[in-house]
Structure 1
Amino acid sequence: MLVYHNPRPEARTLTESVNNNAWGANGSEWGASVSTGFSCLTVSDGGRNFSVTYKWEGDASTVKAFPYAKAWPSNFPVQLWNLSSLPFSASWRTFVNGTENESVQKQEQAYDNAALRANVAVDMFLSDNSTNSTLVGPPIEIMIWPWYTKTILPLGYDTSTPANDTVEIGGVEYSLYQGYNIQGQHVFSWLAHENLTQVDVDYAPLLSYIVDKGFLGGGLYLGQLEFGTEVMNANDQATFEAWDYSLRIIRHGDPDDPHRATSTATQHLQHCSTSHTSTTPVSGPLHSATAMSVARTAFRLARASPFRAVAPRTFSSIAARRRSETDKYTFTFLGAEKTPSKWEANPPGKIIPFDEVKSEEDLLAPGAAPGTVPTDLDQATGLERLEILGKMRGIDIFDMKPLPSDRHGTFQDPIVVKSGGEELQVGCTGSPADDHVVRWVVVSRDRPYQRCDECGSVYKMEYIGPADDPHHAHHGYTEPKTMADYVKDDYWYR
């Protein structure tokens, strides 16, 4: 038996890791006040069982620890449209120390007396980038809560529509909530309608529902998977015990794929890569399942909205894009006997992340899996696709933030506006904002400085386009002279 009292140890033997994952002693890491308490993790039976005893006091609205069991990621990352099954079985219990043999009613009373705020969760992280999905801080998190105290609520509790988004798994209904955490991650939470202490189910339909409803795109990579307990507060010592747990991923086409006989078409669209980390596994029944990040840190990606579905696909032949070994591109038409020659100009066969976009060909869309509704991420191309990929990285490629309105620009310190074109129209409303009606100021490469005729604020265009822009000469066009052309040089802006 292995016992750990340190903040973030990992117990490792053969196929799975267990992490205490306690950050509550440094609450500032999550933007919360510093808390007091501890978390003691015990691993037994070669990693098949683990328990954690804890006590956390302080800001009860923030998570202090998430001790978890993590499977070795031999099947990860996996794109959602290539996920066939997510089998999960486990038994667990949570109790305030000294009440483990009491009735359910007395244990619930002990939860209230100790101000216990905790849940039991299966936790997953996703990203559009296969590598990023296996690291700390992917932009999307999906949680499944089969057990939780009445005092803890999911993100988006007040704004979600759980009555409309309910799925039955193993005879128990789960409702969906979604919101954003302090790190900017988009969090989806499935809550069971009754507290469970044992499950043996396939949770894949919960992920399929999110894709089918258009909340997320099927091309996203699921890179991490964990099972544990999320603790927010416990004024008295409490314990979480888990045993006989098994958590793994089955992809379409795997030998143990329950849908293997009907999954041949989907295989044309799959793109999976295995992510290896320095984690040494712990022996246990998790086999070759995949898992989630070792620790959680702040994440600042924008709450991108590129995952909403736009319109159903109307054509009967679905083109699956793939990159060949020679780095050229080819189309494969599912259901077609041969590839039409006009499509031999070839897009890549996967979603190219923002960091890897090198040419216009990388901004072609992969399309959606057969029988699914394509999302913006599946079908957008060109600059629109670049904008979506940028938002998923927290990058606003068109710099749509409002211009500074807390000061007036001067020729010595103008308000700078970047432009990739020859000319730009800037709407000025004065300082502070809305001090006057919008006055349009035109700046260009030839006349980079202009000032608002209402408030006098000076704007300067900073050209960031190609240095050899062939359109700069305006095809022989000469701008008409104004009175400014006859002002002495000493009065010109520098």
Structure 2
Amino acid sequence: MALMSTSPSASAASKPTHQDLNEQYGGVLTDSKKYLYGSDQWGDDGSGSQEMTVLLADEHGASFNATWIWEKNFQYVHAYPNVGYESAQLPTKLSNVKAFHLSGSWSVYPEGQEDAPDKTAALNAIACKADIALDIFMDANETSAMNASRAAYEVMVWQSVWGGVWPIGYYEPPVGAPEYNLSGVTYQLFMGRNQQGQQQSVFSWVPTVYQESIDAEIFELVNELVRIGNITSDMYMGVIQFGSETVHAAKKVVLEMNNIEMKLDVKTTKTVTSRPTATSRAAADVFRAQITNFAVPAALGLGAMLVV
């Protein structure tokens, strides 16, 4: 498992190292307050469940486990267990960003099959549909950029996909899709609008070979969108989250996210004496809205190819 158990020698009064996060919209900060875990079961339709345990100590980044199962409505995202990046520098204009680095690893497998020689085959056998993806929300308005439901733009950086869940605008075969090589991994770009009321524009970078870890300068992909004219450098970067969109599985699936580290470098820093977390600003309006991409099978044909 990704999370180490608490030492039996620890006293009852010692600070807890882990916390269960099983509420539909649960959230808790790590010890350093650099990361914010979210259970985010916004699509719970009663057909399954999610149990999440998070590591509060974050000297080596954020880590969490989530065990989930959703047996109905295989075309919809049911939850997005994730870790968000908390920084006094957010929101900030894209033109002010020097770098945004992401590192960490993950493992996904059917419950009880952590040693399966082929985890992908094991997941396919239980009709698992899920992905691993980073979300970055942006808007011309700095307040809207910090609200995932109000931001006009969403940039997704996918890492892995199971069961034919694809980003908005995906088409098969993806011939002619714009490409970018990031740290030796080729990503293809797709674009469309999601199903939320404000019709967010969603730009999704998808690796041609699915990954089990990352250690890369993610902001290069954002800069590429600026370069080709899809977004502008005067927009604000706000909410940032990394996790797994869970769609369907006939049996329980275990997600392990290990040592997730994010680092934002800006040209001009700002001093903030007290900055509320993204979830504490308006729980009913903001945290419930941590809805990411409306992931759908490619066969549904939603969205459109990005033309550059």
**Fold-level match, TM-score > 0.5?**
yes
**AA partner of residue 14 (structure 1):** S
CA distance in 1, matches of 2:179, 2:108: 26
* 2:95 is the counterpart of 1:93: no
Q: Residue 2 of structure 1 contacts residue 44 of structure 1 at CA under 8 Å; is this kept in 2?
A: yes
Match of 2:202 in 1: 187
CA distance in 2, matches of 1:200, 1:157: 25
Between structure 1 and structure 2, the one with the greater Rg is: 1
Pair 1:179–1:273, CA change in 2 (3 A): farther
Note the C-alpha offset of 1:136.
3.7
Unpaired stretches in structure 2, ≥5 consecutive residues: 1-17, 281-285, 293-306
Match of 2:74 in 1: 60
Q: Residue 77 of structure 1 contacts residue 130 of structure 1 at CA under 8 Å; is this kept in 2?
A: yes
Note the C-alpha offset of 1:162.
6.2
Match of 2:216 in 1: 201
Greater length-normalized contact order (CA 8 Å, ≥ 6 residues apart) = 2
Note the C-alpha offset of 1:163.
3.2
Note the C-alpha offset of 1:74.
1.2
The 5 A counterparts of 1:106-145 are 107-137=119-149, 138-145=151-158
Q: Secondary structure of 1:100's partner?
A: coil
The 5 A counterparts of 1:15-34 are 15=33, 16-25=35-44, 34=45
Q: Residue 137 of structure 2 contacts residue 148 of structure 2 at CA under 8 Å; is this kept in 1?
A: no
Note the C-alpha offset of 1:36.
1.1
Note the C-alpha offset of 1:78.
1.5
Residue of 28, 32, 38 corresponding to 1:14: 32
Q: Residue 178 of structure 2 contacts residue 188 of structure 2 at CA under 8 Å; is this kept in 1?
A: yes
Q: Deviations over 1:15-50 (max 9, x none)?
A: 12111111222xxxxxxxx35111111012525321
**AA partner of residue 167 (structure 1):** Y
Note the C-alpha offset of 1:197.
1.1
Q: Deviations over 1:47-86 (max 9, x none)?
A: 5321111001211111100111112131111112222111
Scaled by the length of structure 1, what TM-score is found? 0.50
Q: Residue 185 of structure 2 contacts residue 209 of structure 2 at CA under 8 Å; is this kept in 1?
A: yes
Q: Secondary structure of 1:225's partner?
A: strand
Note the C-alpha offset of 1:2.
1.1
CA distance in 2, matches of 1:153, 1:123: 15
* 2:88 is the counterpart of 1:74: yes
Q: Secondary structure of 1:131's partner?
A: helix
Note the C-alpha offset of 1:235.
1.5
The 5 A counterparts of 1:157-168 are 157-158=170-171, 163-168=176-181
Which aligned runs of 4 or more in structure 1 are off by greater than 6 angstroms? 159-162, 272-275
The 5 A counterparts of 1:18-417 are 18-25=37-44, 34-44=45-55, 46-47=57-58, 48-104=62-118, 107-137=119-149, 138-158=151-171, 163-183=176-196, 184-253=199-268, 276-278=275-277, 294-296=287-289
Scaled by the length of structure 2, what TM-score is found? 0.78
Note the C-alpha offset of 1:187.
0.7
**AA partner of residue 241 (structure 2):** E
Note the C-alpha offset of 1:240.
0.7
CA distance in 1, matches of 2:43, 2:275: 28
Note the C-alpha offset of 1:99.
1.5
Q: Secondary structure of 2:223's partner?
A: helix
Q: Secondary structure of 2:248's partner?
A: strand
Pair 1:210–1:55, CA change in 2 (3 A): same
Pair 1:161–1:186, CA change in 2 (3 A): farther
**AA partner of residue 44 (structure 1):** L
Note the C-alpha offset of 1:4.
2.4
Q: Residue 24 of structure 1 contacts residue 56 of structure 1 at CA under 8 Å; is this kept in 2?
A: no
CA distance in 2, matches of 1:128, 1:250: 20
Note the C-alpha offset of 1:149.
1.3
Pair 1:147–1:169, CA change in 2 (3 A): same
Identity score, percent: 22
CA distance in 1, matches of 2:174, 2:230: 13
The root-mean-square deviation of aligned C-alpha atoms, in Å, is 2.6
Higher percent of residues as helix: 1
Pair 1:280–1:221, CA change in 2 (3 A): closer
Q: Residue 80 of structure 2 contacts residue 291 of structure 2 at CA under 8 Å; is this kept in 1?
A: no
**AA partner of residue 121 (structure 1):** A
CA distance in 1, matches of 2:80, 2:116: 26
**AA partner of residue 122 (structure 2):** A
Match of 2:3 in 1: none
Q: Residue 24 of structure 1 contacts residue 36 of structure 1 at CA under 8 Å; is this kept in 2?
A: no
Q: Deviations over 1:372-423 (max 9, x none)?
A: xxxxxxxxxxxxxxxxxxxxxxxxxxxxxxxxxxxxxxxxxxxxxxxxxxxx
Q: Secondary structure of 1:135's partner?
A: coil
Pair 1:93–1:59, CA change in 2 (3 A): same
Note the C-alpha offset of 1:103.
0.8
Q: Secondary structure of 1:54's partner?
A: strand
Q: Residue 27 of structure 2 contacts residue 279 of structure 2 at CA under 8 Å; is this kept in 1?
A: no
Pair 1:72–1:117, CA change in 2 (3 A): same
Unpaired stretches in structure 1, ≥5 consecutive residues: 26-33, 255-271, 282-292, 300-307, 310-494
Higher percent of residues as strand: 2
Match of 1:288 in 2: none
Pair 1:210–1:131, CA change in 2 (3 A): same
The 5 A counterparts of 1:405-444 are none
CA distance in 2, matches of 1:161, 1:149: 17
Note the C-alpha offset of 1:114.
1.4
Q: Secondary structure of 2:123's partner?
A: helix
CA distance in 1, matches of 2:172, 2:200: 16
Q: Secondary structure of 2:98's partner?
A: strand
